[in-house]
């Protein structure tokens, strides 16, 4: 059972032709597919407007980039060039809308490129309410989301009622709950849920209907409970910095095989941006806006209103996940992750937490150096803890 689920997820992850999305569109005449870039967009709104939400996470290490490199200089991160490569090769032609959240200036400017290249596709840059005052922020974001509802409905010719929006919110609440369960089990028993498998599941959930993901994730959890594994003498680490451009799967495997249990991470972070259920009471658009503004998640793409927040963040994450150290794994040229790193690492080291840092690209093909670095780190954590005992 477990292997079946992971094979299903791996096939979806590896399929750069988005066969599942095409299949869904074939099965739902008149329906639309709407893409979104990292890190967070409210998928509920796409869903309520009759779209299949499709996460656009680049091509990883599975595609040679030719056309994409003609759009970006060497000192821009890799994600947008592989997204352009996917688009220019026709693989994203099925998208009637593409949403670009306020993640960084590269994603922001990619929205402008999209407008120029694909004038027939609905393109929306979604500004995030960065102001720390909740009421001002929620009012602004509510306006942005209402605008989005109106525009998407015009594309799909399906204006959702409040009841439609609540149904979509309830569905994605369920999806978030399953993801929370997966993360909770991994945190408690990382030997039972390897991060490689968890990651594949999350990526599968980016291209299939929420219902399909929920069903498969529950089957996976049931299989894990039915066949528990045995703990190894691995070190528990938090991985930070990979919230936008995703690491190649080989990098995640390398960290694990080097003797690390990843007990918290920020891979595919949009799936956990809202850490709790969104209320089904009241105006659904406003509740979505409130849920974002009040979300406890702190990450590089949001302004940190607390002057000491960055310094404390790693200590809090390590304590909450029972980790022993932090791996800063950021994509090359990633402004959000790399500009945050001195603050996060400074706070971690002040708290006595062991750290290492490396950079990757989504198409990194050589993992030996990461494995050696992570292996040495895992060994040092054991020695550190032995010494502390």
Partner 1 sequence: MSRTQVLKDRSMVLQKEMIARHFARLEQAPERHEPVVYTFVPGNLTELIRSFDALPVLPEINALQSGMRKLSGDYIAEAERSGHSEDVCAYVKCDIGMAKAGNIGPAGTKLPKPDLLLLSYTGCYTFMKWFELLREEYDCPAVFFHVPYQGDGALEPEHREYMIRQLREQVIPALERVTGRAYDEDRLRQNLALSALAEDDLVAVLQSAKRKPSPIDGYFGTVYYVGPMFSAFRGTEEGVEYYRALREEVEARADAGLGPIVPDGSLDEQRYRLVVEGPPSWTHFRDFWKMFTDEKAVVVASTYTKVGGTYDFGFRHDPRDPLGTLADYCSGCYTNLNLPSRVEMIARYIREYEADGFVINSIKSCNSFSAGQLMILREVEKRSGVPGAFIESDLVDPRYFSQANIKNRLESYFQMIESRRRGAAAGGGGAAA
Return residues touching partner 1 (CB under 8 A).
70-73, 75-76, 80, 100, 102, 104-106, 108-113, 115-117, 124-127, 129-133, 136, 139-140, 143, 147, 300, 303-305, 307, 310-311, 330, 332-336, 338-343, 345-346, 359
Q: Which is nearer to partner 1, 111 or 287 (CB)?
A: 111
Are 382 and 346 contacting, i.e. CB atoms less than 8 angstroms apart? no
Minimum distance from residue 108 beta carbon to partner 1 (Å): 6
CA 256 to chain centre: 19
Q: Which is nearer to partner 1, 189 or 286 (CB)?
A: 286
Are 266 and 239 contacting, i.e. CB atoms less than 8 angstroms apart? yes
CA 290 to chain centre: 20
Q: Which is nearer to partner 1, 295 or 357 (CB)?
A: 357
Q: Which is nearer to partner 1, 209 or 241 (CB)?
A: 241
Minimum distance from residue 359 beta carbon to partner 1 (Å): 8
Minimum distance from residue 132 beta carbon to partner 1 (Å): 6
Q: Which is nearer to partner 1, 194 or 325 (CB)?
A: 325
Minimum distance from residue 306 beta carbon to partner 1 (Å): 10
Strand pairing class (235-240; 32-36): unpaired
CA 168 to chain centre: 19
Minimum distance from residue 358 beta carbon to partner 1 (Å): 11
Minimum distance from residue 74 beta carbon to partner 1 (Å): 9
Q: Which is nearer to partner 1, 107 or 179 (CB)?
A: 107
Query: Six-digit token pair at 56?
Result: 């656009």
Query: Six-digit token pair at 147?
Result: 């605008």
- Reported for 67-70, long-range contacts at CB under 8 A and 24+ positions apart, including other chains, are none
**Number of other CB atoms surrounding residue 17 within 10 Å:** 12
Q: Which is nearer to partner 1, 139 or 153 (CB)?
A: 139
Minimum distance from residue 143 beta carbon to partner 1 (Å): 5
């Amino acid at each position: 059972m477990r292997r079946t689920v992971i094979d299903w997820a791996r096939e979806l992850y590896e399929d750069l032709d988005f066969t599942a999305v095409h299949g869904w569109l074939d099965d739902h005449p008149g329906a639309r597919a709407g893409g979104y870039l990292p890190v967070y967009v409210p998928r509920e709104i796409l869903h309520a407007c009759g779209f299949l939400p499709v996460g656009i996470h680049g091509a990883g290490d599975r595609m040679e980039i030719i056309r994409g490199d003609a759009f970006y200089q060497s000192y821009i991160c890799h994600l947008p060039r592989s997204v352009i490569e996917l688009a220019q090769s026709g693989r994203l032609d099925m998208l009637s809308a593409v949403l670009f959240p306020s993640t960084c200036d590269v994603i922001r400017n990619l929205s402008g490129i999209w407008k120029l290249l694909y004038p027939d596709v609905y393109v929306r840059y979604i500004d995030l309410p960065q102001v720390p005052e909740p009421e001002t922020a929620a009012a602004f974001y509510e306006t942005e989301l209402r605008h989005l509802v109106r525009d998407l409905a015009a594309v799909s010719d399906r204006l959702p009622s409040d009841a439609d929006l609540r149904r979509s919110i309830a569905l994605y609440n369920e999806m978030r709950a399953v993801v929370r369960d997966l993360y909770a089990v991994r945190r408690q028993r990382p030997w039972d849920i390897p991060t490689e498998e968890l990651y594949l599941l999350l990526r599968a959930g980016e291209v299939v209907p929420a219902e399909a993901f929920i069903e498969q994730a529950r089957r996976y959890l049931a299989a894990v409970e039915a066949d528990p594994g045995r703990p190894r003498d691995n070190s528990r680490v938090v991985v930070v910095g990979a919230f936008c451009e995703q690491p190649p799967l080989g990098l995640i495997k390398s960290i694990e095989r080097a003797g690390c249990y990843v007990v918290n991470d920020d891979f595919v972070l949009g799936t956990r941006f809202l850490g709790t259920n969104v209320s089904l009471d009241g105006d659904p658009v406003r509740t979505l806006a409130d849920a974002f503004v009040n979300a406890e998640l702190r990450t590089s793409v949001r302004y940190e209103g607390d002057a000491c927040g960055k310094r404390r963040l790693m200590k809090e994450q390590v304590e909450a996940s029972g980790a022993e150290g932090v791996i800063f794994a950021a994509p090359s040229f990633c402004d959000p992750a790399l500009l945050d790193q001195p603050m996060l690492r400074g706070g971690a080291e002040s708290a006595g937490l062991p750290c290492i840092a490396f950079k990757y690209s989504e198409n990194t093909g050589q993992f030996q150096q990461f494995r050696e670095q992570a292996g040495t780190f895992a060994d040092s954590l054991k020695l550190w803890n032995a010494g502390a005992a």
